[in-house]
Every structure is written in structure tokens, then in C-alpha cells.
Amino acid sequence: MNLFECEKLLTDALNPLASKSLFYTARNMLENKGAMKTDERLLVYRHNISGVFIQTLASTFMTCEAILGHACFATYAREYGWSREKKTGDLNAFGEEFPAYILKQVISRHELNGYAYLADLAKLEWLIEKSRLSDDDDHNDLVNETDIVSYDPGTVYPVLTASLQLLKSQYTVFDIWQLHKQSEDRSGVFAIHDMDYLSIHRDSEDDVIIQKIDSTMFNFLTMATKGVSLLELAGDAPVKMMQCMSIAIQRGWCAGFRIDVGEPNDFY
Amino acid sequence: MISGPSNVTSGLPGLGRPISRCGIGLREPHLRHILDVLPDVPWFELLTDNYLQTNGPLLRQIDNVRRNYPLTFHGVGMSLGSADPLDEYYLTAVKHLIQRYEPAWVSDHLAFTHIGDKHFHDLLPIPYTDEALQHVSQRIEQVQDFLGQELVVENVSSYLQYKDSTYAEAEFITELVQRTGCKLLLDINNVYVNAFNHGFDAYSYLEKIPFDEVNEIHLGGHEDRGDYLLDAHNNEVTQAVWALYESVMKFHPDIPTLIEWDNALPEFDVLLRQADIANDIVIKEHNVKADNVL
């Protein structure tokens, strides 16, 4: 057996979702000196790996864990970890697809009836983590709001802070998340069908701030994340755009402005 | 060629101080305390895998640590033993950190953490065969070329061994050092754990280690699970491991040591006390050596 086959067989056998026959085949390639039984040797690794999956996800998706209970959350975390395809070895990125995984479970598992909001809650927790770990803003080549008046609005592009994340949910996930943060007693927690528009960003003290915003502001920020100019943002409502822009600057969602006058046109 | 920030610590006190005596593994919950108190610790070891971002609040805190202390880097993601190609993204991120902090050295493990389309985030043992020796040697050389410095390779704790292995672990490691010029990070707790789990003599293992090539020693706690020992890094170093450490320090008291503690993390002072024990052993062995010279 070459190195690749050996490593592949071992890791396939460690996967709790794999067949028992693989486990038995892998057992045959192991030496057995010492007091440990051969099965136990494999099971220690299976347990350790699952433990990393569960611990990593639980540190980000704390509210989801609290709602599901540790045992149920651990089952999902284990299944997610073992079935997840390799992206990078960066554990900080490990939870990235967990909200999508939870959404699939909510749709397909009858025991999750009544937990339709859970996928959005997972998404909120992931965006909080993403905001916490995001890069600092690069202020090079940016100008502030007082310096943009002399430019054509078609050449001025607002740059949002790198930590800004946006979430739209048809459930009141922010209230649920906040309730869990404040109290161990979650008997009164339930999801209400009512649109939540949320902004999540890191302030100057490195604290992650979550704010409820209205749909106008949500749409404005969503459009601004696409890298459009002030002219495009204004559309038919320049006054409304100026109001939104002013709030975005005030709350620290806008890091500054990029001026792009384009290359000189020497066609003529 | 990668681009990155210029070194943020040039000319500051941490730079150029030698790595000596007993350092401590830097963990995020201790950061605030360390930066407030600036404890008397000769150096810290940074877990590189937790800081793969290009910038942001986590790295800003490490900038502050680096301004006051020398650092070494310790990683778990190189997957030196994997039959997969090397992870260029990971290595580039590590190189970025090296440029930023100029650590005294960079270490990772003789193990694999990913294969095929899966990442396991655990240190899995490899078979000690000629094929593996050639493969891992090539990878270490590739990593050293990419990072532009010697790599320091650590022996891992393990719970299984392969029938196909034709080398004992200590022989395999010695051969790796000879072929690649890499250095060693000897984890004495891992030697003890493996000796118990695989039924060999830890002292005989140590006799085969080329100590001239050992840059660093790791000490950590394990858990007794009855018929096996778990390298849990969640408690104090046991008496048996201290005895093994003392037997090494008797002949090699100048090798720097590091206290590792990852789970059920206690107050920082508990780690300091573990480091004090290690330092006392080193002082004792130095005194014995001096007496013998006189």
C-alpha cells in the first residue's frame, strides 16, 4: 500500500459516516503493541477530530447550540465536519457553510419543524464572526466626505468598511440572538415572522455592533457594496441617497470615498 | 513572490533577543493579561494557524506582544506527511506572518492533517517507510525553499502505528534531519505518551535523538485514560515527564523549552509556575555541570 492509499484508507475509516467494512480494513494495517485495543486506536482519532469540529462550531454558533441543546448541535456539527469538502486549513473559515448546512436540515428533518428561523440565526452568528475577524480598512487612496464636493458624483465611489456585513431575514433573528445573550432562561424565545434588516460591523474599539436598519438603508448599503458611484446610488432620489450616505458615515459603515476619474481619453 | 506588510517590529526590544530558558505558548485568552502585565517570560510561541489573516484586530494584538518579546512560530497546518500537494495558500499566509514578525524559527509536525478532499484538523501519524521518508524529505525541502529558512519538525503524540513501518520513529526523524538539514522540536510529553501507547522505552528513544539538531523542547500535560494516555494539553506536566525532561537537560541544558497548554486553560500564573519548574531544572543541571568542571 503506498502512502496515499494508506492515508486515504485511514481517514475514510475514521469517518463515522463510512461503512463498518472500511473500519475493519483499516484495522488490519495497524500494529498493536501496548494495552490499547486496535479499534480504540482508531476511535481515539475519530473522537478527537469530531471534537475539533464541534468545539470550533460551538465557539461561533453559540445561540444555535443553546437552542438545539449540546447533543443535537454536536450531531449536526459532526456530520457537517465529516462531510465538508476541504477548502483551506484555516479553522477560522471552518463554519462558513454551516448556515447553508443548517438550512438543508431545517428543510429535510422533521425534528426541526418550528425551527425555520435557525438557518438565518446561524447566518447572523457567522456574519458576527466574519466581522470580528475581518481586515482593517485600508485608508490609502481614500478621501473623506468634505473633499468629495468638487468631484463629479459619477466619479465618486463610497467604500464601505471591510467589517460591514448585511443580513435580511424574514424572522426576528436579532431579538432571538439578543435574548440568548442576555439570559440563560430561554423559555420565552420564539420566532416572529417580521422582516429583520441588520447591519453588523466592528467599531473603533474592535467591538462588533449589530444594528436594526430599515429596508431603504439596507438596499442602499447592499447597492454600495457592489462598488457603484454616488450618481448610480442616487438614481431618481438624490435627497434620499444623501440622507442614507450621511447616516452611513455617522455610524462608521463608510470608510471613505474613492475617486475614479478614469484614464484620459486620447481617442481624438 | 508574495507581497505583504513591511515588518512592524524592526528596532524594537523583542527583536534580536535570543530564545533561551523556558517560554510559554501564547493563547488568546491570556493576551490582555500579558499586554497589561508584561510578565517576565523570555519568549512566546505563536500558533500560526490562528493568525492567517492579513491584518485586523487579532494581528494588532500580536504586534504589541512582538514589540516586547521574541516569538517563535508553531503550526499544525503544513501537513508535511500528506500525500497531497503542499497547500500554497497556507504556506503563503505563514510567509506573510514571518515577514511581519521575524520569528526565531518556524515549526510544524511530522504528521498529516489533510488528504484528498478532506481536512481533519488533527495530527494524523504516517507510516515510517522509505517512500514516506523520501516524500516528507522532499516536502520539507520545498517548504524550506519557499520560506527561505530551516524548518523545525516536531515528533507527534500518536495512538496508532502501521504494520508497514520499517523505521522506528526516532530513526525516521534522524534520517529526515540528515537528508533535509531541518531542525527538531522534541516534545518530551509526546515521547512519554507514545512509549506508553505503543509499548516502548522512552529513555531508549531519547538515546537515538540527534540533540545537536534540537532547537526546542515542548512540555505539556496528558490525561491517563486507563489503557492509553491522551495528549490532552489540559493539565500540568506529570512527574514522569519531568523526570524524562531532567534526564535530557542533564546533558543538554541549553536547549530552550516551552510550556504548551491548550484546553481547560488556567490563569496565566499556572503556566508561569510550570515554566519556573523547567527553569529550576535547567539551573540545577548547569550548577552540576559547573561543579564537575571545578
Q: What is the pLDDT of residues B202-258, one digit of tens each?
A: 999 999 999 999 999 999 999 999 999 999 999 999 999 999 999 999 999 999 999
pLDDT at A267 over 80: no
Q: How many domains does chain A have?
A: 2
CB within 8 Å of chain B, chain A residues 31-50: 31, 33-37, 40-42, 44-45, 48-49
In a domain, B224, yes or no: yes
* A82 interaction partners in chain B (CB closer than 8 Å): 118
Determine the distance in angstroms separating the CA of A188 from the nearest CA of chain B, rounded to an integer. Answer: 32
Taking CB atoms and an 8 Å limit, are B164 and A41 in contact across chains?
A: no
Q: For B163, which of A31, A37, A86 is closest by C-beta distance?
A: A31
From CA B106, how far away is CA B97, in angstroms rounded?
10
Of A82, A115, A148, the last residue of a domain is A115
- Please count the structural domains in chain B: 1
Give the closest-approach CA distance of B289 to chain A in angstroms.
37
pLDDT for A122: 98
User: Is A241 in the same domain as A200?
Assistant: yes
- Same domain, residue pair A23 and A86: yes
Q: Find, among B187, B133, B125, B179, the residue nearest to B155 by Cα.
A: B187
Q: Provide the 8-state DSSP code for A143.
A: B
Binned at pLDDT 50, 70 and 90, residue A141 comes out as confident
pLDDT mean across residues, chain A: 90
Alpha-carbon distance of A177 to A115, in angstroms, equals 14
pLDDT one-digit tens code per residue, A66-78: 999 999 999 999 9
Which of A22, A31, A138 is most worth mutating to test chain B (most B CB atoms within 10 A of its CB)?
Answer: A31
> What pLDDT is stored for residue B6 in this prediction?
40
Length of chain A: 268
Measured distance CA(A38)–CA(B198) in Å, rounded:
11
Any chain A CB within 8 A of the CB of B163?
yes
| pLDDT 10s digits, B93-110 | 999 999 999 999 999 999
Q: Which residue has the higher pLDDT, A148 or B3?
A: A148
pLDDT digits (tens, 9 = 90+) for B78-97: 999 999 999 999 999 999 99
DSSP string, B54-105: SSSHHHHHHHHHHTTS-EEEE-S-S-TT-SSPP-HHHHHHHHHHHHHH--S-
Find the largest Cα–Cα distance for chain A: 86
How close B106 gets to chain A, by Cα (Å)? Answer: 17
Of chain B, the end-to-end C-alpha distance in Å amounts to 55
Instruction: In whole angstroms, give the CA distance from residue A189 to residue A105.
Output: 21
In chain B, which residue's Cα lies nearest the Cα of A14? B120
For residue B88, give how far its alpha carbon lies from the nearest alpha carbon of chain A (Å).
Answer: 10
Indicate the SS3 state at residue B258. Answer: strand
Residue A53 is predicted with a pLDDT of 97
Contacts of B165 in chain A (CB under 8 A): 31
Distance, in Å, from the CA atom of B239 to the CA atom of B197, rounded to the nearest integer, reads: 18
Q: What is the ipTM of this complex?
A: 0.91
| Amino acid at site B191 | V
Cα B167 to Cα A118: distance, rounded to the nearest angstrom: 51
Q: How far apart are CA B191 and CA B207, in angstroms?
A: 12
- Chain B CB contacts of A92 under 8 Å are 50, 52-53
Residue A263 — very low, low, confident or very high, per pLDDT cuts 50/70/90?
Answer: low
Residue B184's DSSP bridge partners are: B153, B214
Is B120 touching A (CB cutoff 8 A)? yes
Which of B57, B135, B161 faces A31 most closely, judged by CB atoms?
A: B161
Spatial CB neighbours of B266, under 8 Å, sequence gap ≥ 6: none
A226-253 mean pLDDT: 92
Q: Residue A144: what residue type?
A: N
Min Cα distance A56 → chain B (Å) is 10
Same structural domain, A250 and A200:
yes
Specify the pLDDT at position A142: 85
Q: Residue A184: its pLDDT value, please?
A: 58
> Do A187 and A83 share a structural domain?
no
CB half-sphere exposure, B142, CA atoms < 13 A: 16
Question: According to the model, what pLDDT value does residue B17 have?
Answer: 54
Assess if residue A122 is contained within a domain: no
- How much is the pLDDT for A249? 94
Total residues belonging to chain B: 294
A206 and A147 in one domain? Answer: yes
Q: Which of residues 79-98 of A touch B (CB under 8 A)?
A: 82, 84-92, 94
Chain A, window 120-139: residues with a beta carbon less than 8 angstroms from a chain B beta carbon: 132-136
Binding-face residues of A in 8-27 toward B, CB within 8 A: 8, 10-11, 14
Q: Chain B residue closest to A38 (CA)?
A: B160
| Short-list B181, B105, B185, B183, CA closest to B147 | B105
Closest-CA residue to B190 (of B250, B125, B140): B125
Same domain, A79 and A140: no
Residue A166 lies in a domain: yes
Is B132 part of the contact surface with chain A (CB cutoff 8 Å)?
Answer: yes
pLDDT range class, residue A95, cuts 50, 70, 90: very high
What distance in Å separates the CA atoms of residue B145 and residue B182, rounded to the nearest whole number?
Answer: 11
Distance CA B270, CA B236 (A): 9
SS3 B284: helix
Residue of B nearest to A26 (CA): B162
Interchain proximity B119–A8, CB inside 8 Å: no
CB-based contact B132 A3, cutoff 8 Å: yes
Could you list the residue range(s) of the whole structural domain that residue B199 is in? 22-293
List the single residue in B52, B120, B127 with the smallest CB-CB distance to A90: B52
Rg (CA), chain B: 19
Nearest beta carbon to residue A34 from set B56, B90, B196:
B196
Contact residues, chain B, for A2 at CB < 8 Å: 83, 131
Residue numbers of B between 28 and 87 with CB closer than 8 Å to A? 49-50, 52-58, 60, 76-77, 79, 81-83, 87
Instruction: Please give the single-letter amino acid code of residue A49.
Output: I
* Residue A187 scores a pLDDT above 70: no
CB contact under 8 A, B89 and A88: yes
Kindly state whether residue B5 falls inside one of the protein's structural domains: no
Cell numbers representing residue A205 in the block: 474599539
Q: What is the pLDDT of residue B115?
A: 94
Banded model confidence at residue B32, pLDDT cuts 50, 70, 90 = very high
Is A126 inside a domain boundary? no
Q: What is the pLDDT of residues B140-188, one digit of tens each?
A: 999 999 999 999 999 999 999 999 999 999 999 999 999 999 999 999 9
Asked if A104 and A156 sit in the same domain, the reply is no
- Asked whether residue A37 falls in the same domain as residue A102, the answer is yes
A146/A264 same-domain check: yes
CATH code: domain of residue A217? 3.90.930
How far B272 CA lies from chain A's nearest CA (Å)?
26
Say if residue B1's pLDDT is above 60.
Answer: no
Are A163 and A95 contained in the same domain?
Answer: no
Question: Domain ends where: A115, A144, A164?
Answer: A115
Q: How far is CA A11 from CA A20, A119, A243, B193, in A?
A: 13, 30, 56, 22
Three-state SS for A206?
A: coil
Range of the domain at A191: 134-268
pLDDT at residue number B53: 78
**Quick one: pLDDT at residue A119?**
96
The CATH number for B195's domain is 3.20.20.150
Q: Residue A175: pLDDT above 60? A: yes
- Say if B16 falls within a structural domain: no
Residues A144, A242, single domain; the answer is yes
Residue B35 has pLDDT above 70, yes or no: yes
